[in-house]
């Protein structure tokens, strides 16, 4: 192994920065994308028209809830003007809080409290509607509960008098203190129950994708050093060609694992997440999977041009099937084995062992046997 | 002593050569000539252990090729036809790279001496910037790092100037006389062959080389016609 380190250092003498760049690339690229996404998330607000026909505490509370929802920008308009803006696609959709909203709430009527308008281009309509409905349902239930408590007090002739408004306010306080319900608007990604806004893109998936790409770019040495003439020299040295490549991949794996664990540590600090043994084991398994996979590809492919094309296509496939761009839950539901084949999903779903890793190891064994025969070793 | 007995090589049904037998003694320089496709490089690769013969046996210093391959490789130095060095590295780094992987470790001074004996003084220069002749010399120097007893050269002077050719030839002569290295040498340059080699093996059916060598009084053995 010392010989491998020494020869690698000699070879890297002329190009230390490119290797350092690709080693740091996953961390830097993930940080860059996450910062950009956070900026976009911050800047991006969906304009939703709100027409308020009723004026009561209940309505004010509903409006406060809507205003506090991330990514929603309530625009208060008149119904006619709002409809025009929806037609012009200036507003994503329009919600009209009818003038009998409070009365119907009080009477326990839930039908037609709010009227909504949208067009075929109202891409945020469904989640916004669901969010407003959840607020209405929440207020309705709160109101109903207060009514029921009042009814019970009367039935059982309890002397102590509880004001309905007080009950509702107390319920709100409990909700605020204990974060009973938290609704965040999200598209494609799962609903969160934490106070923080769920990022649109999973940092772990993003990092894994960049790690695969960065490692693929770094591993082009497998092709560049597969110089047939130089390979003819190795049988007359202490190291046969296949052992030369294997020990170098092993060295790269050890060094890159160090970078991986640094990335995990930094990620945990920045995102305020815990580093679990399971996470470390999954990262370790992910690294072994991609390195062995790229090792096989690098040994089989003969030219750097083909190698780059193959690894670019693989990166693209991993990206498309990762859920970063398009939701893939239906695919996973239908073909659950995808999580065992896709290295990024194996990492995310904490499956530990990927099928590609097993295939790569078998291929490496066969390749090693074949090359050994080839060089009569 | 290199002893080759009844060596045959076939690629499927295609014969490259059949039933070759010859002996090369310690410290001898033997040329290998023949028309293109006669099997010179294949023969050299078999002697270098990079190819397996279809049949026959080889011995070097009584070590059997089929039984003591790894031990034998320590004694063999192979100079491929292509320049097999890292172009982006300096001469020094190339020598250090292959010395690190070699069975026999050499100090930097020793490595430098090997190069300087062949008049390569561009120790710290990148190989890509060197002349064809110097590259060829570095190519040869790398093969000598582990002090081989059998040196196999496949057109080591192809495409280089006369001066560099002469320097390489002088060095190889010194190696054979001083260090008793057995040398098997392929070249298409008949002047070079006759100047350098103790005798010449011809391979192939074409009588041209035999006639050429006989007319000039060169010691010659026809490997193909032997049987």
**What would the pLDDT profile of B99-119 be if each residue is shown by its tens digit?**
998 888 888 899 999 898 888
Residue A193: band (very low, low, confident or very high) from pLDDT cuts 50, 70, 90: very low
CB A324 within 8 A of CB A201: yes
Residue A377: band (very low, low, confident or very high) from pLDDT cuts 50, 70, 90: very low
Task: Specify the 3-state DSSP secondary structure of B164.
Answer: helix
Mutate to test the interface with A, among B85, B86, B139, B152 (most CBs of A within 10 A): B86
CA pair distance A230, B194, nearest whole angstrom: 30
The predicted structure's pLDDT at residue A195? 45
* Phi and psi torsions of B203, nearest 5°: -130, 140
Residue B66: band (very low, low, confident or very high) from pLDDT cuts 50, 70, 90: confident
- DSSP codes, A3-53: HHHHHHHHHHTT-HHHHHHHHHHHHHHHHHHHHHHHHHHHH--EEEEEEE-
The residue behind tokens 């909700």 is A175
Residue A311 has pLDDT above 90, yes or no: yes
CA pair distance B46, B66, nearest whole angstrom: 11
The predicted structure's pLDDT at residue B20? 83
**What is the arithmetic mean of pLDDT over B148-158?**
88
Angle among Cα B70, B67, A236 to the nearest 5 degrees reads 20
B82 touches chain A (CB under 8 A): yes
Residue B217: band (very low, low, confident or very high) from pLDDT cuts 50, 70, 90: low
The predicted structure's pLDDT at residue B227? 39
- DSSP codes, A46-80: EEEEEEE---SHHHHHHHHHHHTSTTEEEEE--HH
Residue A350 has pLDDT above 60, yes or no: yes
Percentage of residues in chain A having pLDDT higher than 70: 91
**Alpha carbon of A253 to those of A63, A246, A248, A250, B44: distances in Å?**
55, 10, 8, 5, 38
* Phi and psi torsions of A309, nearest 5°: -60, -50
Residue A106: band (very low, low, confident or very high) from pLDDT cuts 50, 70, 90: confident
The predicted structure's pLDDT at residue B202? 83
The predicted structure's pLDDT at residue A181? 52
Residue in chain B nearest A241 by alpha carbon: B101
Residue A368: band (very low, low, confident or very high) from pLDDT cuts 50, 70, 90: confident
Residues 6+ apart with CB under 8 A from B51: B9, B42, B45
Residue in chain B nearest A371 by alpha carbon: B50
Q: Which of A181-190, B167-176, B197-206, B210-219: highest mean pLDDT?
A: B167-176
CA pair distance B11, A36, nearest whole angstrom: 61
Residues 6+ apart with CB under 8 A from A233: B78, B80, B84, B98, B142, B143
B209 or A5: which carries more pLDDT confidence?
A5
Task: Specify the 3-state DSSP secondary structure of B189.
Answer: coil
Residue A294 has pLDDT above 90, yes or no: yes
CA pair distance A289, B185, nearest whole angstrom: 47
A262 or A104: which carries more pLDDT confidence?
A262
- Tell me the chain B residues in contact with residue A233 when contact means C-beta distances shorter than 8 Å: 78, 80, 84, 98, 142-143
Say if the Cβ atoms of A244 and B76 lie within 8 Å.
no
Percentage of residues in chain A having pLDDT higher than 90: 21
Residue B155 has pLDDT above 90, yes or no: no
- Tell me the chain A residues in contact with residue B48 when contact means C-beta distances shorter than 8 Å: 236
**What is the arithmetic mean of pLDDT over A352-357?**
84
**What is the arithmetic mean of pLDDT over A132-150?**
84
CB A81 within 8 A of CB A46: no
Residues 6+ apart with CB under 8 A from A374: none
Residue B225: band (very low, low, confident or very high) from pLDDT cuts 50, 70, 90: low
Q: Which of A39-48, A79-88, A356-365, B128-137 has the lowest mean pLDDT?
A: A39-48
**What is the arithmetic mean of pLDDT over B13-20?**
84
B77 touches chain A (CB under 8 A): yes
Residue A374: band (very low, low, confident or very high) from pLDDT cuts 50, 70, 90: low
- DSSP codes, B14-68: EEEEEEEEEEE-TT-EEEEEESTTSSHHHHHHHHTTSS--SEEEEEETTEETTT-
Percentage of residues in chain B having pLDDT higher than 70: 91
For chain A, strand residue ranges (E) read 46-52, 72-76, 93-97, 114-118
**Alpha carbon of A48 to those of A14, A132, B91: distances in Å?**
58, 11, 71
Furthest CA-CA distance within chain B: 52
Pairing of strands B63-64, B76-79: unpaired
A181 or A96: which carries more pLDDT confidence?
A96
The predicted structure's pLDDT at residue B111? 92
Average pLDDT, chain A: 83
Say if the Cβ atoms of B100 and A235 lie within 8 Å.
no
**What is the arithmetic mean of pLDDT over A29-35?**
89
For residue A233, give the nearest of B70, B88, B142 by CB distance. B142
The predicted structure's pLDDT at residue A182? 52
CA pair distance A31, A27, nearest whole angstrom: 6
Task: Specify the 3-state DSSP secondary structure of B154.
Answer: strand
Whole-prediction pTM = 0.72
**What is the arithmetic mean of pLDDT over B14-43?**
86
- Tell me the chain A residues in contact with residue B96 when contact means C-beta distances shorter than 8 Å: 10
- Tell me the chain A residues in contact with residue B49 when contact means C-beta distances shorter than 8 Å: 235, 376
Residue A262: band (very low, low, confident or very high) from pLDDT cuts 50, 70, 90: very high
Residue A70 has pLDDT above 80, yes or no: no
Say if the Cβ atoms of A6 and B142 lie within 8 Å.
no
Residue B131 has pLDDT above 50, yes or no: yes
The predicted structure's pLDDT at residue A363? 87
**What is the arithmetic mean of pLDDT over A318-337?**
81
CB B175 within 8 A of CB B195: no
Pairing of strands B182-186, B150-154: parallel
* Count of C-beta atoms within a 10 Å radius of residue A82: 23
- Tell me the chain B residues in contact with residue A237 when contact means C-beta distances shorter than 8 Å: 98, 101-103, 146
ipTM, interface predicted TM-score of the complex = 0.81
Instruction: Please write down the long-range contacts of A192-198, taking CB distance under 8 Å and 24 or more positions apart.
Output: A197/A41, A197/A70
The predicted structure's pLDDT at residue A179? 57
B54 touches chain A (CB under 8 A): no
Pairing of strands B55-60, B2-11: antiparallel
Say if the Cβ atoms of B98 and A237 lie within 8 Å.
yes
Q: Which of B123-127, B157-161, B167-171 has the lowest mean pLDDT?
A: B157-161
Residue A169: band (very low, low, confident or very high) from pLDDT cuts 50, 70, 90: confident
């Amino acid at each position: 192994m010392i010989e491998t380190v020494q020869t690698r250092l000699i070879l890297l003498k002329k190009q230390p920065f490119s290797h350092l760049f690709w080693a740091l690339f996953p961390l830097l690229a993930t940080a860059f994308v996450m910062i950009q996404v956070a900026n976009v998330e911050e800047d991006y607000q969906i304009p939703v028209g709100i027409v308020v026909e009723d004026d009561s505490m209940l309505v004010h509370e509903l409006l406060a809830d809507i205003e506090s929802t991330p990514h929603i920008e309530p625009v208060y308009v008149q119904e006619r003007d709002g409809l025009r803006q929806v037609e012009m696609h200036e507003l994503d959709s329009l919600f009209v809080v009818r003038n009998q909203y409070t009365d119907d709430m009080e009477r326990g009527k839930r039908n037609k409290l709010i009227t909504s308008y949208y067009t075929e281009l109202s891409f945020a309509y469904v989640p916004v509607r669901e969010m407003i409905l959840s607020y209405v349902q929440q207020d309705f239930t709160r109101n109903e509960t207060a009514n029921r408590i009042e009814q019970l007090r009367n039935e059982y002739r309890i002397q102590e008098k509880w004001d309905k408004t007080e009950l509702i306010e107390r319920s709100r306080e409990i909700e605020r203190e204990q974060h009973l319900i938290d609704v965040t608007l999200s598209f494609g990604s799962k609903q969160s129950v934490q106070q923080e806004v769920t990022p649109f893109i999973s940092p772990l998936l993003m990092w894994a994708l960049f790690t695969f790409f960065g490692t693929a770019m770094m591993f082009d040495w497998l092709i560049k050093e597969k110089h047939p003439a130089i390979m003819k020299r190795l049988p007359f040295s202490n190291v046969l060609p296949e052992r030369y490549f294997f020990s170098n991949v092993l060295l790269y794996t050890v060094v890159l694992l160090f970078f991986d664990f640094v990335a995990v540590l930094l990620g945990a600090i920045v995102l305020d997440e815990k580093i679990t043994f399971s996470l470390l084991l999954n990262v370790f398994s992910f690294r072994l999977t991609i390195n062995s996979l790229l090792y096989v590809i690098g040994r089989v492919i003969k030219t750097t041009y083909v190698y780059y094309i193959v690894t670019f296509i693989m990166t693209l496939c991993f990206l498309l099937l990762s859920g970063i761009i398009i939701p893939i839950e239906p695919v996973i539901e239908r073909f659950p084995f995808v999580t065992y084949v896709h290295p990024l999903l194996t990492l995310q779903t904490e499956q530990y062992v990927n099928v590609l890793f097993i295939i790569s190891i078998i291929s490496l064994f066969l390749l090693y046997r074949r090359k050994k025969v080839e060089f009569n070793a | 002593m290199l002893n080759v007995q009844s060596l045959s090589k076939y690629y499927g049904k295609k014969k490259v050569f059949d039933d070759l037998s010859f002996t090369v003694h310690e410290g001898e320089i033997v040329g290998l000539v023949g028309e293109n496709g006669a099997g010179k490089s294949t023969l050299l690769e078999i002697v270098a252990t990079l190819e397996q013969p279809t049949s026959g046996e080889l011995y070097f210093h009584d070590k059997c090729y089929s039984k003591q391959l790894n031990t034998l490789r320590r004694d063999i130095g192979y100079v491929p036809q292509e320049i097999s060095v890292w172009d982006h590295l300096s001469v020094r780094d190339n020598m250090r790279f292959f010395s690190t992987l070699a069975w026999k470790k050499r100090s930097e001074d020793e490595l430098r001496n090997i190069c300087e004996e062949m008049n390569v003084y561009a120790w710290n220069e990148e190989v890509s910037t060197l002349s064809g002749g110097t590259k060829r010399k570095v190519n040869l120097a790398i093969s000598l790092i582990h002090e081989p007893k059998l040196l196999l050269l496949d057109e080591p002077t192809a495409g280089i100037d006369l001066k560099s050719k002469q320097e390489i030839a002088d060095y190889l002569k010194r190696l054979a006389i001083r260090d008793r290295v057995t040398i098997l040498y392929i070249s298409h340059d008949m002047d070079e062959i006759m100047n350098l080699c103790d005798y010449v093996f011809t391979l192939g059916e074409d009588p041209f080389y035999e006639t050429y060598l006989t007319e000039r009084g060169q010691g010659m053995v026809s490997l193909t016609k032997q049987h």
